[in-house]
């Protein structure tokens, strides 16, 4: 129920807090635009989309595209179904939803309650702490357990690996120092509380100010790429990749009459490959 922003407002004007939040939003937008210009991701995206349209075997209507957009939001965005590993998926969801709750409630606490004389809603302060805690649990679980597993990435916990690590470390530092700041402020540890607040501001500035160099912007590209892939599969272009045919389909066997010769009369579905068995032989 503790609102750390209300107490710090005695030393930092609420207008300065609001200006800082707006500045962080501008840094995210600017960093994302620069990232797109540097990697030419938007140019590639539209060129690839145009190429797919040229290779399309049939037209996909607006209703179908809307359904694919909803499916993309439900699968790739809200539930992260692209993760086959259940632990990695749960860790990602805890980190993602924790970050969303943390950022949204931070804006609410600063813009609605700080400096207004109105006491912050207990639900908002609870979600602020819960979001930061969820982010920490999911992030530290990934960093110290999932990431170091040889069946996953096999990277040592103390090994810094570039862009992706800059993003996750920025998230963890911001949420961790936010919780420590709130806790030390609530129990009256003045000097330590101010130190935690300073580290919270530094880490959040690094997080939102390093979008151009980190993996932050991928959260915007990923849903667009997933949607484009679904459209390409629906219109028949399939990004110039072969389709995964059902080898027992009589129409396919009529088209390729030599299938039974080398696969038998009832050929099994192929292509499980590495998913047939979990990698446990390191």
pLDDT means per 10 residues, the chain with 282 residues, are: 90 94 95 83 75 77 88 87 85 96 96 87 95 97 88 81 85 97 94 96 95 82 83 77 71 80 64 61 54
- The whole-number pLDDT of residue 49 equals 74
What is the domain extent for residue 43?
Answer: 4-234
Q: How far apart are CA 191 and CA 185, in angstroms?
A: 9
Q: Is residue 168 part of a domain?
A: yes
Burial annotation 5-31 (CB, 10 A radius, 16+ → b, else e): bbebbeeeebeebeebbeebeebbeeb
- The whole-number pLDDT of residue 256 equals 83
Q: Is residue 196 part of a domain?
A: yes
- The whole-number pLDDT of residue 162 equals 74
Q: Is residue 202 part of a domain?
A: yes
Q: Is residue 267 part of a domain?
A: no
> Cβ distance 168 to 91 under 8 Å?
no
Q: How far apart are CA 62 and CA 167, in angstroms?
A: 36
DSSP state of 279: -
- The whole-number pLDDT of residue 244 equals 63
> Cβ distance 193 to 185 under 8 Å?
yes
Q: Is residue 270 part of a domain?
A: no
pTM to 2 decimals? 0.81
Q: Is residue 227 part of a domain?
A: yes
Domains: count for the chain: 1
Q: How far apart are CA 165 and CA 159, in angstroms?
A: 9
Q: Is residue 244 part of a domain?
A: no
Q: What's the token pair of residue 104?
A: 């949204």
């Amino acid at each position: 129920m503790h609102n750390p922003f209300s107490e710090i407002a005695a030393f930092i004007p609420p207008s300065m807090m609001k200006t800082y939040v707006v500045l962080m939003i501008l840094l995210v937008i600017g960093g994302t635009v620069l990232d797109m210009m540097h990697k030419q991701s938007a140019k590639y995206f539209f060129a690839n989309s145009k190429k797919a349209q040229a290779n399309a075997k049939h037209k996909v209507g607006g209703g179908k595209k809307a359904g694919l957009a909803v499916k993309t939001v439900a699968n790739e965005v809200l539930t992260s179904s692209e993760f086959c590993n259940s632990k990695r998926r749960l860790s990602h969801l805890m980190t993602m939803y924790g970050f969303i709750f943390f950022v949204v409630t931070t804006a609410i606490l600063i813009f609605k309650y700080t400096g207004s004389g109105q006491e912050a809603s207990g639900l908002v302060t609870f979600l602020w702490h819960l979001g930061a805690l969820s982010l920490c649990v999911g992030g530290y679980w990934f960093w110290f357990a999932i990431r170091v597993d040889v069946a996953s990435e096999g990277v040592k916990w103390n090994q810094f690996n570039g862009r992706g690590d800059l993003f996750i470390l920025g998230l963890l530092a911001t949420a961790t120092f936010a919780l420590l700041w709130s806790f030390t402020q609530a129990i009256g540890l003045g000097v330590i509380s101010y130190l935690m607040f300073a580290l919270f501001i530094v880490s959040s500035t690094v997080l939102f100010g390093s979008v151009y160099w980190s993996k932050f912007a991928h959260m915007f590209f990923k849903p667009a790429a997933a949607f484009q892939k679904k459209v390409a599969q629906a219109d028949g272009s399939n990004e110039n990749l072969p389709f995964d045919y059902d080898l027992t389909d009589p129409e396919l066997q009529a088209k390729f009459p030599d299938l039974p010769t080398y696969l038998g009369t009832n050929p099994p579905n192929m292509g499980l490959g590495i998913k047939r068995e979990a990698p446990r032989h390191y």
